[in-house]
Structure 1
Amino acid sequence: MRDNTGIIRLHANGLDGLTPVAVDPAEFDTPPEAQNLHIYFADPALGLNVGVWQSAPMQEAFGPFPGDEFIVMLEGAFGLRDGAGTGVGAGAKAGQCAAIRNGIPVSWHQDGSVRKFFMTYNDPRAAAPQDLTAEGGLTTLSPEMTLTDAELMEDTSTPQRDRILFSNDLGNFDVGLWDTQVLNTELEPFPYHEMAQVLEGEVYLTEADGTRHHFTAGDVFFIPAGTPCIWHVPSYLRKFYAALDPENRPDG
């Protein structure tokens, strides 16, 4: 587990394999034979976790979803069901991403094994959401999504485009699609906790100590807020991202 600054590349098997998770049958309608987990980054005071999770087929008990979550699906498929057993949204399968709203009343269901990267946010300062419905609580993201020039950002040194696809109820956790042409930045602290999946192109990220990371299509990485880094995009980069502003939180 990492709880300091430093850019992290996520691997499907964690750093040295996944750790079995104790399964409480009371939390499931159909318990899984096994679940496994690796946490790459955690901030318990903020309610943030980033990692990789794998589960055998199962269905969770119906109830409020425990946090806002950004998912990169690596294996299998899942769906969400409401209290009547009706599917919520389109679900997501390997190769897609998804965002789920904190507190929606649903049951997670999967017929086969699922493996996913995840970034979850459930702020202990925030009151539990009340009177939510499941409608609109699941957003499925396809890697074929593209941007238009109508989504050009203002006041950027190079052409950049951005589309917010999901925002949480607290207003501090966004999931979106972003692209840029050639980009070179100065060394400066990164303002957000961000998990990103590269969809197209490549990026070099250099930390203050000279550590250099190279990410290309299919790679998933996490930048903890406050990490000083330089961005170098040689030609083009398109990515999904989930960004959490740690300074914008409920009072507590």
Structure 2
Amino acid sequence: MYPTYTDLRASAPNASTIAQNDPVNGADPFAPFRQSLAIDDPNLDVGWCLLPAGEGVADDAPQHELLVVLDGEINIEGREGGASLRAGCSLIVPKGGSFRWSVGDQAKLVFMRYLAEDAQGGAGLVFVDPKVPLSPSGSPAAELLLSDTPSCRNNTLYATPSRHWSAGVWDSTPYHRAPMVYGHYELMHILEGSVRITDDQGRATTFEQDSIFLVPKGAKCSWLSEEHVRKVWGILRIPS
């Protein structure tokens, strides 16, 4: 993993590397198909699921997880109902969640898993609605802003009891923020608009609609958005 940010779409493995299907895995049905980034943190696993045609069952999911479909389609059936998740769709699976899945051809997903033993207790799957209503939220610190204060909104769709790991939807009017050191890991899937991320070494990338990237804890990056931005986010923030 690059020490500042990783473009999870651009660096995704080729589908030809899909492992042999093994649908019988009640703890983690995606285990044979996962490829992880090298992250030096025992609490976090981020990477890709390269799923072949097949089906399986997840009984008592072992970790909290955010899934974002990169390519293809996956059908999910849980106690809360079901959905066909196409490219751009997201799903939150709490620890202990159960569901059936099936793929007709192939599907490629990005995942973010919180590995700590932090039980939610009966929480169900959350099918992320990208147009979910949002409420006003905090703006970047005034001392970091290089533009007018933006209007930000948020909806936290899921959080663990400790609130160390959470996921939701956020949007904002345009703004420019000076580089700051991230005290958390954040996965971002851009739903609308674009943002330019620049690190303290001058590496810069513009992430447009459908981009998915990870900013790790300790990275120092700036933010420049010149249009309205809406994103799905997953954050791991554990106090030192």
- Normalised to the residue count of structure 2, the TM-score between the two structures is 0.81
In structure 2, the partner of 1:84 is: none
User: What is the deviation of 1:64?
Assistant: 1.3
Segment drifting more, 156-165 vs 219-228: 156-165
**Cross-structure match for 1:49:** 45
When residues 142 and 107 of structure 1 are mapped into structure 2, their CA distance, relative to the original with a 3 A threshold, is closer
Q: Residue 7 in 1 paired to residue 11 in 2? A: no
- State the secondary structure of the residue aligned to 1:246: coil
Kept in 1, the 8 Å contact 2:51–2:103? The answer is no
Q: Which runs of 5+ in 2 are unaligned?
A: 141-148
Aligned residue in 2 for 1:152: 136
Deviations 1:122-165 (A, max 9, x none): 11xx36x48x44xx411111334453xxx112455321111111
* Pairing 1:79–2:76 present: yes
- Counterpart of 1:245 (choices 234, 237, 240) is 237
Range with greater deviation from structure 2 (93-102 or 138-147): 138-147
**What letter corresponds to residue 9 of structure 1 in structure 2?**
D
The secondary structure found in structure 1 opposite 2:80 is: strand
> Structure 1: which 5+ residue stretches go unaligned?
82-86
The letter for the 2-side match of 1:216 is E
Is 2:14 the partner of 1:38? no
Alignment check: 8 A CA contact 1:5 1:227 kept = yes
Alignment of 1:188-203 (within 5 A): 188-203=180-195
Cα offset, 1:37, TM superposition: 3.7
Give how far 1:36 is off. 3.8
1:107 is displaced (CA, Å) by 3.9
Residues 43/138 of structure 1: CA separation in 2 closer, same or farther (3 Å cut): farther
Would the alpha carbon gap of residues 77 and 237 (structure 1) be closer, same or farther in structure 2, given more than 3 Å must change?
Answer: same
- Aligned equivalent of 1:208, options 193, 200, 212: 200
Question: 1:229 maps to which residue?
Answer: 221
Give the match for residue 97 of structure 1: 90
Contact 1:71 1:98 in 2 (8 A): yes
Relative distance call for 1:16 and 1:93 in structure 2 (3 A) is closer
CA distance in 2, matches of 1:69, 1:37: 13
Q: 2:193, 2:228 within 8 Å by CA — same for their partners in 1?
A: yes
CA distance in 1, matches of 2:80, 2:54: 17
Range with bigger deviation, 18-27 or 90-99:
18-27
Q: Distance in 1 between matches of 2:229 and 2:184?
A: 19
Contact 1:166 1:176 (C-alpha < 8 Å) held by counterparts: yes
